[in-house]
Structure 1
Amino acid sequence: MILRFSLPYRTAWGQRLVVCGSEPSLGQWNPDHALPLQYNPDLGRWSQEISLPDDAPGTVEYKYILLEEQNGSQQWEWGPRRTAPYDGRQFSRLVLEDFWRAPAQPENELFTAAFTEALFRRPAPAKAKAPAKAARVADSVVRFQLAAPRVEPGHQLCVLGSDAALGAWDARKAVVLSDTGYPTWTAEVALEQPDRAAQYKYGIWDPAEKKIVVLETGDDRILPPAPDRRTLRVRADEGFRYPGSWRGTGVALPVFSMRSQRGLGVGEFPDLKLLVDWAVVTGMKLVQILPINDTVATHTWVDSYPYAAISVFALHPQYLNLDAIAPLQDAGAQRELEQLREQLNAKDFVDYEPVMQAKWKFARLLYQQQKQQFLADPAFRAFREAQKPWLEPYAVFCALRDQFGTADFQQWPDEYRTPAKVAELVQEDAPGFDEVALHFFTQFHLDKQLLDAVQYARQHGVVLKGDLPIGIYRHSVDAWTQPELYHMHQQAGAPPDDFSTTGQNWRFPTYNWERMAEDGYAWWKQRMGTLARYFDALRIDHILGFFRIWEIPAHSVEGLLGHFSPALPLHQHEIEQRLGWFNYGRLCEPYIRWHSVQQLFHGQAQAVFDEFMEDAGYGAIRLKEHVRTQRQMEAVFGQKIAADPTNTDHYTWLRTGLYSLANEVLFVPDDLRPDHYHPRITVEKSVSFRELNEQDQHRLRDIYNDFFFRRHENFWREQGLTKLPPVRYATNMLICGEDLGMVPASVPGVMKELGMLGLNIQRMPSNPEVEFGHPDAAPYLSVVSPGSHDMSTLRGWWEEDHATTQRFFETMLGHWGEQAPYHCEPWVAREIVVQHLYSPAMWAIFPLQDLLAMGAELRRSDPHEEQINVPANPTHFWKYRLHLPLETLLQKTGFCQDLLGLNEASNRVKSY
């Protein structure tokens, strides 16, 4: 049997095509031994033949590669491996008429799980309509094959053409393709006139109406005459030509913020179903949440921070719905639970500590009640075995955390500071097994409840979008079990931005990327696989961290003294050459003068000097040894506040002033390379810079701009292209990157190359030359949103600075010369929402608070109570709770219909 590859492709000089695949003649997936294709300039087509055995059926797997002879690079075509089943007993020739699948095309993202598993999920394999003529052994048969995920569940793909077997352009006789291999559709047709060229087009078929509802745009496709008989031609066509791009709308709300009548003072996984129901009736296609991993480290409200997980795999017990496990057999306990539900649900915020105390109390009761049945349950045993690599260390870690009163495993007895005893402690006859098994119990039911909500969302055509935190918590199972994967002596954060003028210090360790690369990023792949169990789309928090992370030395509390890592720091000689001089004391030690002390501390300047500073000679002042670093200052003032809590505000003010003095440097020494330095971020805002002479300011400004905006571009691009692909391609989730802040110029290009959506926030435009971004300027592969959980809501922002609001009102909303309303009135919020809906971006995703701002009767009375996080406050209490039960929101028919109408009018509801 002869197999012929045929591919139309116009190459440039120095380019050639090969095909690589499973057969020895195709190199057995070794590109160096791939089959070279021959080019026919008259046809603009590359082709080649190989022989296959004809005594038994088989399958060939293959992909095309574009080779660049000048630089030796290889570019594999996009997508999964192609498969070509063959049977030499029926056909003597198999002709693969393919088209090049180009990488970095927007339509490629329609093949992700968000579309194939949720939005266009097939209800069941449909049977193809019988072809006009049954295929016979002697016939020339065409297998029409089209990869097209964008077909609504109630519709099918069909092909219509000039040949009688294709309906002779009678739409009622179109050939319906099978979705058995969805998202690839196929139908085999024996043409009536195989020796003549045929014209054809694909369409979308409504089986209920028995008609074509959408016929693809563009010219007719041409099928050349068949080369000879007993030939199977596989016509793997280019994608369906839709009249427009697919666009959808989403709503964002943390699970903990959801309110329902059956909850226990906090949102729970079953509440996702209610939000999915609301999404369906309003035309929303996506529900986005914040991280849902377990953050229980201290058993205090500090654990409300969702980005400090003690496990990147375990789910947070606060999301457990107790009633869904089993009824409490103890009538008194059941009454107590109902009373607590009434009390906690009456609160207008998530009262984290009482909520968690209640969850743990009744989870323990349910575990004891269900223990024997639970441990013998085959479903639990299968779950435990499948999740064993993370589940058993996690359960032991939690038990030890509670036994020793801290998640800081460095404070545990020596024999427990490593996970060496995990296998011993998970045995059912081990002392304290129940304390371990309690966490088996909660994780099993959390997983079960979340998967139930996931399945519900998929069945209703709604995408669940999760959130991947960029860092790991310092006192976590992950750090306990695999400390070699992290730089535990460093701290990750973010440089100064609109969220925080002194930067953000998350206090997470940074990643040891070199070590992670040694096993092919196995930890990342495991982490992504767990997320893909629950989500079809994913937001990667601070995706810039895959290019370079803001690394802060252990002695710093704020982020100003950090530097990017990896980076190319300046050698002392380079600074000396470009600046004209180098003096370590002037450039790298805090620049403190008496007038600065007076400006900071006013009438208390002398007292502050006496306690915390000393004369360094020649008018210079230095901090005393016990407060040389911010971490030392933090400890000193922590003791003062503990001893005299009534003066907390005063001590906080003093500490903040001293922090700022410690930041008064122009260069930060590199922690690994002696005599190498990084310019301090936002150096022009420092007193030290302002008191340089004009010539030194100019030279230092040049050094700074070159360092942060030119020096690293290719270097950071290489970093992103090394680290991101293993994460991106570990699953088939739709990936969206949170790329806000100080974005390297290479980031958008790398994200586009990898098919990752960027984020466009109107108040944080990527273009530094404009004050506000316009949703109309967003690229298709992006998400537009008026805000995020790290910002005030639309209504809150509107009242922060009325001069800014006025400019926005005129320039963005077009109300030139009009006075902006003092409050963000419902009609103003509506205009902003509509503006985002008409963006060309694939997704317009709105915080639920911003959507409710359009309803005068639905809005919360105080908009400042709607903000989820304040990034400038490292000890923020994450307690925001929706003021309306989701059941009530579903009953607001007028509002729901109005929102549905906005989505429909902006073409964000229909698929085509």
Structure 2
Amino acid sequence: MTIQFSLPYRTAWGQRLAVCGAGPALGDWQAAAASLMNYDEVAGRWYLDVELPAGLLSYKYVLLAADGAPTWEARANRTLVLAGPAQRLLLADYWHAPAVPENELFTAAFTKALFRRPAAGAPVKAAKGKKKPGPPAPAGAGPPPGSVVLRLANPRVAPHLGLCVLGSDPALGAWDNRQCLVLSDADYPTWAATVQLQNPGEDCVYKYAIWDAAAGHALDMEGGENRIIPATGDAAAVRVFNDEDYRQATAWRGAGVALPVFAMRSESGLGVGEFADLKLLTDWAVQTGLQLVQVLPINDTVATHTWVDSYPYAAISVYALHPQFLHLEGIAPLKSKKDAAELARLKQELNAKDFVDYEPVMAAKWKFLRLLYQQEKKAFLADADYRQFLAEQGPWLAPYAAFSALRDRFGTADFTQWPAGFRTPPDLGALTAETAADYDDFGLFFFLQFHLDKQLRDAVAYARSRGVVLKGDLPIGIYRHSVEAWTQPELFHMDQQAGAPPDDFSTTGQNWRFPTYNWPRMAEDGYAWWQQRLGHLGRYFDALRIDHILGFFRIWEMPADSVEGLLGHFSPALPLHRHEIEQRLGWFDYGRLCEPYIRWHVLEAIFGQEAQGVFEEYLDDAGYGTCRFKAGLGTQRALETYVQGKIATEPQHADYFNWLLPNLYQLVNEVLFVPAATADFYHPRITLNKTWSFRGLDGDEARRRLYDDIYVDFFFHRHEEFWRQQGLTKLPAVRYATDLLICGEDLGMVPASVPGVMKQLGILGLNIQRMPATPGLEFSHPYDAPYLSVVTTSSHDMSTLRSWWQENRVATQRYFETLLGHWREVAPYYCEPWVVREIVVQHLQSPAMWAILPLQDYLGMDGHLRRADPAAEQINVPSNPAHFWKYRLHLPLEELVDAVGFNEPLRALVQDSGRG
């Protein structure tokens, strides 16, 4: 079959368009071997004629720069079945431009949930008195010669409606909205129909419209100019019009709710939220007109079997789900009446608690999980569904089961402490074989993950059936003692730590203690690790929040001996050579610039009357009025170990040592430059102008400005293009690994290049009113958020609206006057329900694609439903590394679903904002 590709596109000088796809004629998906197109100046179109065999055609257009560098068009690969009697096929396509907001409507959030077809490919009711044209011909048949195939890519059609075509030709109803051509959704989000025009020798004008099958007529015809099917003189050719851009007046906007799964409370729970509770939250979302439910990470974090494991961003597997989310009764009833009675008693006891009491909850889960495993083992191993699950998920499931069982056998998740034969993975197939004598040690975890997966996918299917999107959370890092670190250490820098520079959450930075990524190694196989990880998340979610998306541009990296984040540096980066520093400052002295600046006046300022004692125990006199740490105490990790030993031997002085330790860390941080990995290269220390060392520099203000100039250039100018290229290299592998709607958490010290890269890749940004992206701005306005973004009132790392309202009365008053418009009025002492309502409405009215607010802030609008103590609503406190993640909704979701007096007014607010 001869195929003519045709595409209108205006290129710049030196650019060429090409068709690239499957098969040697189209370059086998290699841009350098793609088939070049020719340009028709009269028609203003690029075209290419090529002979292709029958079968599935898969292709994309690619723009080649003068130097051959390719730019692929956006969206998924184009597909078309080549079959039938026609020998010539004329394709009329349009370029899928990147950075176009409509591209995001083709993601799973819209195609699998919001506009999910009730029965894809089901027959569509024809107009009364008119025979409905059939759907596109099946493989092997193909459209007859001389026919026209109309195809429109448009996901934004309500599930109970369809699409049709009205036009001037009688075959298109001659503009009669009851005699139109009804399209099939068999290939949704592409709609299509095949038709034989009655007057093919004349130009036919047409438009698309919404088809209401129940009413039997078209409605809401698209705007803009008429589309044209030109007259043809080639009666034997099939013409395929792959149309784009259904012209709707307004951009789609939605609203959602954020609540961690562990924080959900239901009458059927066991002291913690479970995957089954997602159905209840989905029901509430439907009641209130919300279209999205957002959760925190749900991966297994069980490393120590203590409350420390409540931290959801330290997963021991990037695939496995957390045992706490398992609904035990969803597996099978306990056959032992005694065990069933104990479970019922524990359920009542743990559900009555105001918070998630992590250790007792997990102890109960493990106990009854083991009982259920033994009870159901025989049926489980014979279950065909389990066998399929094992076959599909085995590559990660077996390593996870082995790791978890060995963790419990050896009493630690730190595999470097395991016996020598297990520090690197042995033959995992043999280790976890069902015939092994100790199989039950491993089988428990196969059993666990099978049922977790089953229960979560059941909740996912339920949400999609009700038109609700589930949005997950992708942590930027992996846990140091995890399956991935054990099985694939080459992908990580295990001798480094990831974190974040100082921000509003923590003035000393954050140290997550995760290893950093070995990006060059990951690039060798096209970032397969990331693609597999994203593909697995697509099993459960339709949208995804990428935690700390800045990590794909550069990550804050600290050496293993750091506890706080101030001695870190961005990686990758372009450090300064000592000669460059010397040239710009006029001098370079390693001891003065790179070693801790410790003087007696500094000790007195930090330690007060304890200064002498601190000096005697921790420091030595280095001469000339300077001090240095004693041997073996020069790093924060060494100090941590030493002081923790003191606490163990002198517990009665624990308060003193807990006060002392961060002040000792401060001394270690007293440097102006941090040595890079390469000799004679250095990074300016973050916030160096806040150090005693900076204040102690000789010279006048002009000399200090030299340091400021280096600092500003280094952190805000030097790396912009370098980091932009880093993002454009790494992020596409994540962005295009699935059809998920991707949102990035782009808060903090954001390079200027980040918003442009995210826009180019169609990744939504995050806008929090209290954390504006514009420097010097105290509050941002939701009305100023771009369309491809998410606006929210609070995040899980922040206080909720009501709690924040009471933190700083001066700031609250400014916010009340300038953002809420209550000029010269005194702000109420507490964040009253009407104030919360004004803030919520302001966010709902934003032009951003999504307004996703924490459930706590929605409830703040109701004086009866909201929690009594606003301080108890905060989920995480980033400045406290020992924080216990225990937040739990204070009322059952069943009660929330039935709260008509709250739900109906909220639904009205959502509808009035034009969302949904």
Per the shorter chain, which TM-score range?
over 0.9
1:867 matched to 2:874: yes
Q: Which residue of 1 aligns with 2:89?
A: 94
Q: How does 1:640-659 map to 2 (within 5 A)?
A: 640-659=646-665
Partners of 2:131 and 2:239 in 1: how far apart?
Answer: 16
1:243 matched to 2:249: yes
Indicate which of 706, 717, 734 corresponds to 2:741: 734
After superposition, give the CA deviation of every residue in 1:682-734 in whole Å (9 maximum; x if it has no partner). 11111111222323311111011111011111111111111111111111111
Structure 1 residue runs of 5 or longer lacking an equivalent are: none
Q: How does 1:510-659 map to 2 (within 5 A)?
A: 510-659=516-665
Indicate which of 820, 824, 833 corresponds to 2:831: 824
Relative to 1, partners in 2 of residues 1:488 and 1:306: Cα closer, same or farther, differing over 3 Å? Answer: same
Partners of 1:21 and 1:352 in 2: how far apart?
Answer: 52
After superposition, give the CA deviation of every residue in 1:510-554 in whole Å (9 maximum; x if it has no partner). 111111112222221221111111011111111111111100111
Give the ranges of 4+ consecutive aligned residues of structure 1 lying more than 6 Å apart after TM superposition.
132-139
Opposite residue 115 of structure 1, the aligned amino acid is: F
Relative to 1, partners in 2 of residues 1:375 and 1:48: Cα closer, same or farther, differing over 3 Å? Answer: closer
Q: Secondary structure at the match of 1:626?
A: coil
Greater mean alpha carbon deviation, residues 292-301 or residues 615-624: 615-624
Q: Which residue of 1 aligns with 2:513?
A: 507
Relative to 1, partners in 2 of residues 1:84 and 1:407: Cα closer, same or farther, differing over 3 Å? Answer: closer
Greater mean alpha carbon deviation, residues 38-47 or residues 523-532: 38-47
Opposite residue 764 of structure 1, the aligned amino acid is: M
Relative to 1, partners in 2 of residues 1:886 and 1:88: Cα closer, same or farther, differing over 3 Å? Answer: closer
Q: Which residue of 2 aligns with 1:901?
A: 908
Partners of 2:750 and 2:683 in 1: how far apart?
Answer: 18
Q: Which residue of 2 aligns with 1:73?
A: 69
Q: Secondary structure at the match of 2:281?
A: helix
Greater mean alpha carbon deviation, residues 835-844 or residues 520-529: 520-529
Contact 2:133 2:182 in 1 (8 A): no
After superposition, give the CA deviation of every residue in 1:835-893 in whole Å (9 maximum; x if it has no partner). 11111111100010000000110110000001000001111100000001000001100
Opposite residue 566 of structure 1, the aligned amino acid is: P
1:856 matched to 2:852: no
Q: Secondary structure at the match of 1:172?
A: coil
Q: Secondary structure at the match of 2:6?
A: strand
After superposition, give the CA deviation of every residue in 1:563-585 in whole Å (9 maximum; x if it has no partner). 01111111111110111100111
1:255 matched to 2:252: no
Q: Which residue of 2 aligns with 1:85?
A: 81
Opposite residue 720 of structure 1, the aligned amino acid is: G
Partners of 2:504 and 2:855 in 1: how far apart?
Answer: 22
Structure 1 residue 67: Cα displacement: 2.2
Greater mean alpha carbon deviation, residues 757-766 or residues 521-530: 521-530
Partners of 1:313 and 1:60 in 2: how far apart?
Answer: 34
Relative to 1, partners in 2 of residues 1:52 and 1:756: Cα closer, same or farther, differing over 3 Å? Answer: closer
Relative to 1, partners in 2 of residues 1:469 and 1:33: Cα closer, same or farther, differing over 3 Å? Answer: closer
Indicate which of 479, 489, 495 corresponds to 2:485: 479
Partners of 1:312 and 1:601 in 2: how far apart?
Answer: 43
Q: Secondary structure at the match of 1:179?
A: strand
Relative to 1, partners in 2 of residues 1:343 and 1:154: Cα closer, same or farther, differing over 3 Å? Answer: same
Q: Which residue of 1 aligns with 2:154?
A: 148
1:775 matched to 2:797: no
Q: Which residue of 2 aligns with 1:725?
A: 732
Q: How does 1:276-355 map to 2 (within 5 A)?
A: 276-355=282-361
Greater mean alpha carbon deviation, residues 404-413 or residues 879-888: 404-413
Contact 1:132 1:189 in 2 (8 A): no
Structure 2 residue runs of 5 or longer lacking an equivalent are: none
Q: Which residue of 1 aligns with 2:695?
A: 690
Opposite residue 61 of structure 1, the aligned amino acid is: S
Q: Secondary structure at the match of 2:868?
A: coil
Q: Secondary structure at the match of 1:627?
A: coil
Contact 1:137 1:230 in 2 (8 A): no
Q: Report how many aligned residue pairs link the two structures.
A: 903
Structure 1 residue 330: Cα displacement: 0.6
1:888 matched to 2:888: no
> Given the two structures, how large is their TM-score scaled by the length of structure 1?
0.97
Q: Which residue of 2 aligns with 1:787?
A: 794
Greater mean alpha carbon deviation, residues 895-904 or residues 211-220: 211-220
Contact 2:32 2:68 in 1 (8 A): no
Q: Secondary structure at the match of 1:423?
A: helix
Q: Secondary structure at the match of 1:50?
A: strand
Structure 1 residue 664: Cα displacement: 0.6
Q: Which residue of 2 aligns with 1:106?
A: 101
Q: CA RMSD in A?
A: 1.7
Q: Secondary structure at the match of 2:426?
A: helix
Structure 1 residue 326: Cα displacement: 0.6
Structure 1 residue 52: Cα displacement: 5.3
1:63 matched to 2:72: no
Partners of 2:398 and 2:242 in 1: how far apart?
Answer: 47
Opposite residue 766 of structure 2, the aligned amino acid is: L
Q: Which residue of 1 aligns with 2:820?
A: 813
Q: Which residue of 2 aligns with 1:7?
A: 7
After superposition, give the CA deviation of every residue in 1:378-399 in whole Å (9 maximum; x if it has no partner). 2112212211111111111111
Relative to 1, partners in 2 of residues 1:407 and 1:24: Cα closer, same or farther, differing over 3 Å? Answer: closer
Contact 1:273 1:456 in 2 (8 A): yes
Contact 1:263 1:345 in 2 (8 A): yes
Q: Which residue of 2 aligns with 1:170?
A: 176
Relative to 1, partners in 2 of residues 1:903 and 1:15: Cα closer, same or farther, differing over 3 Å? Answer: same
Structure 1 residue 12: Cα displacement: 2.5
Partners of 2:300 and 2:216 in 1: how far apart?
Answer: 51
Contact 1:132 1:165 in 2 (8 A): no
After superposition, give the CA deviation of every residue in 1:174-214 in whole Å (9 maximum; x if it has no partner). 21100011111101111121111122110111111223232
1:435 matched to 2:431: no
Relative to 1, partners in 2 of residues 1:515 and 1:886: Cα closer, same or farther, differing over 3 Å? Answer: same
Partners of 1:396 and 1:24 in 2: how far apart?
Answer: 44
Opposite residue 58 of structure 2, the aligned amino acid is: E
Structure 1 residue 161: Cα displacement: 1.1
Partners of 1:467 and 1:567 in 2: how far apart?
Answer: 27
> Given the two structures, how large is their TM-score scaled by the length of structure 2?
0.96
After superposition, give the CA deviation of every residue in 1:588-645 in whole Å (9 maximum; x if it has no partner). 0111111111111112211121111222111112222232111111111111222233
Partners of 1:48 and 1:430 in 2: how far apart?
Answer: 61
Partners of 1:901 and 1:773 in 2: how far apart?
Answer: 25
Opposite residue 362 of structure 2, the aligned amino acid is: M
After superposition, give the CA deviation of every residue in 1:757-809 in whole Å (9 maximum; x if it has no partner). 11111111111131111111111111110110000101111111011111111
Greater mean alpha carbon deviation, residues 613-622 or residues 247-256: 613-622
Q: Which residue of 1 aligns with 2:383?
A: 377
Relative to 1, partners in 2 of residues 1:86 and 1:530: Cα closer, same or farther, differing over 3 Å? Answer: closer
Q: Which residue of 2 aligns with 1:31?
A: 31
Partners of 1:634 and 1:329 in 2: how far apart?
Answer: 50
Contact 2:154 2:244 in 1 (8 A): no
Opposite residue 81 of structure 1, the aligned amino acid is: N
Structure 1 residue 132: Cα displacement: 6.9
After superposition, give the CA deviation of every residue in 1:443-463 in whole Å (9 maximum; x if it has no partner). 111111001001101111111
Partners of 1:140 and 1:227 in 2: how far apart?
Answer: 10
Opposite residue 67 of structure 1, the aligned amino acid is: L
Contact 1:140 1:226 in 2 (8 A): no
Structure 1 residue 422: Cα displacement: 2.2
Relative to 1, partners in 2 of residues 1:728 and 1:342: Cα closer, same or farther, differing over 3 Å? Answer: same
Contact 2:144 2:238 in 1 (8 A): no
Relative to 1, partners in 2 of residues 1:133 and 1:376: Cα closer, same or farther, differing over 3 Å? Answer: closer
Structure 1 residue 649: Cα displacement: 2.2
Contact 2:672 2:688 in 1 (8 A): yes
Q: Which residue of 2 aligns with 1:201?
A: 207
Contact 1:720 1:750 in 2 (8 A): yes
After superposition, give the CA deviation of every residue in 1:646-674 in whole Å (9 maximum; x if it has no partner). 3322211111111111111000011x201
Q: Secondary structure at the match of 1:608?
A: helix
Contact 1:613 1:621 in 2 (8 A): yes
- Taking only the aligned residue pairs, the percentage that are identical comes to 65
Partners of 1:131 and 1:820 in 2: how far apart?
Answer: 66
Q: Which residue of 2 aligns with 1:274?
A: 280
Opposite residue 799 of structure 2, the aligned amino acid is: S
Partners of 1:131 and 1:220 in 2: how far apart?
Answer: 24
